Amino acid sequence: MRAERPTCYPSIIIYVKSPADTPLKNFAVVVFPGFQALDVFGPLDALNILSKQFPIRLSIIAESLSPVSTRTQSHPDSDCAQSIVPTHTFDSPPSDIEVLLLPGGMGTRSDDIMKGPIKFVKDIYPSLKFLITVCTGSTIASRAGVLDNKRATSNKRSWEWVITQGPRVEWVPHARWVQDGNIYTSSGVSAGIDVMLAFMDGVYGKDAAADVTNVMEYERHLDPNDDPFAPLYGL
């Protein structure tokens, strides 16, 4: 650990840990047409708050640098959507991504939309320190092959479809989130906040995760096996 501003007493040096000592700084999120808004913005808001304590750099990666909308073709008569502006493309991502977040959403059901994200995840996973998926974002990881022979979970409402997208995955039906090695997968939509807080708990410490939770005024799920929505869908 690097010493910073040591406070000196006779024969004693007290080392104060600096946020700069934290090994993880470079985060990225993949977005695509039809991504689920809270899958992205819930975890990212937690990161926004954490970044007041620890240095964090965020990249937003998509097929192109054009704004990416949550709008889906399944509801053509509605005009209620939000867009996010990417900072990088799949073809030209940052070289130092440490933690990658994969959201879900209706866009994950489109083979055409998913070609870019699946290839990107397959190529970049070996260099990542952590991969975090929310909702049906786990199917991007499963189709990229990175969940093979690993435990994972996903959105319970879409469960029957999800498990067809990863036949070599050990899908866990009754879980709010699952950690297997350096991969965290979570259940539907709001579970993305819980999995990000669990990740923070493990990497940045319980106090940091608790501080973020309190600033968000969020009632956090602490038990990864406590999934109130699994029984709703007969799981």
- Quick check: is 170 in a domain? yes
DSSP structural state of residue 167: T
Check residue 22 and give its pLDDT: 60
169 inside domain: yes
pLDDT of residue 79: 83
Q: What is the mean pLDDT of the chain?
A: 91
Check whether 63 has a pLDDT greater than 80. yes
pLDDT at 47: 98
Per-residue pLDDT, 55? 94
**Is residue 14 included in any domain, yes or no?**
no
In the predicted model, is pLDDT for residue 9 greater than 60? no
What pLDDT does residue 78 have?
Answer: 78
The answer to the question of residue 3 being in a domain is no
CA gap 38, 193 in Å, rounded: 9
Report the distance separating Cα 163 and Cα 170, nearest Å. 9
Q: What is the pLDDT of residue 21?
A: 56
Span 133-185, pLDDT tens digits: 999 999 999 999 999 999 999 999 999 999 999 999 999 999 999 999 999 99
State the average pLDDT over residues 15-29: 67
Q: Tell me whether strands 177-180 and 170-171 are parallel, antiparallel or unpaired.
A: unpaired
- Give me the sign of the Cα torsion angle 193, 197, 203, 204: positive
- Any domain includes 139: yes
What average pLDDT does this structure show over 189-195? 98
pLDDT band (50, 70, 90) for residue 76: low
Query: Tokens 């999934």 correspond to what residue?
Result: 227
Residue 121: burial class (beta carbons within 10 Å; 0-12, 13-18, 19+): buried
Say which residue, 111 or 72, is predicted with more confidence. Answer: 111
CA distance 118 to 141: 7
Among 6-15, 52-61, 117-126, 149-158, the minimum mean pLDDT is found in 6-15
Total tally of structural domains belonging to the chain:
1
CATH number reported for the structural domain that contains residue 120 in this entry = 3.40.50.880
Q: Which amino acid is at 101?
A: L
Distances, alpha carbon 212 to alpha carbons 52, 142, 193, 204, 208, in Å:
10, 30, 11, 11, 6
DSSP SS3 for 47: helix
Domain span including residue 105: 25-233
Q: How far is CA 26 from each of CA 127, 156, 160, 225, rounded to the nearest angstrom?
A: 12, 30, 34, 29
Rounded CA separation 197/209 (Å) = 6
Who's near 107: CB < 8 A, 6+ residues apart?
A: 32, 33, 34, 35, 72, 113, 114
Domain assignment of residue 17, yes or no? no
Assigned domain for 112 exists: yes
Calpha distance 82→79 (Å, rounded): 10
Q: Mean pLDDT over residues 172-200, rounded?
A: 98
* Confidence (pTM): 0.90
Q: Rounded to an integer, what distance in angstroms lies between the CA atom of residue 225 and that of residue 135?
A: 16
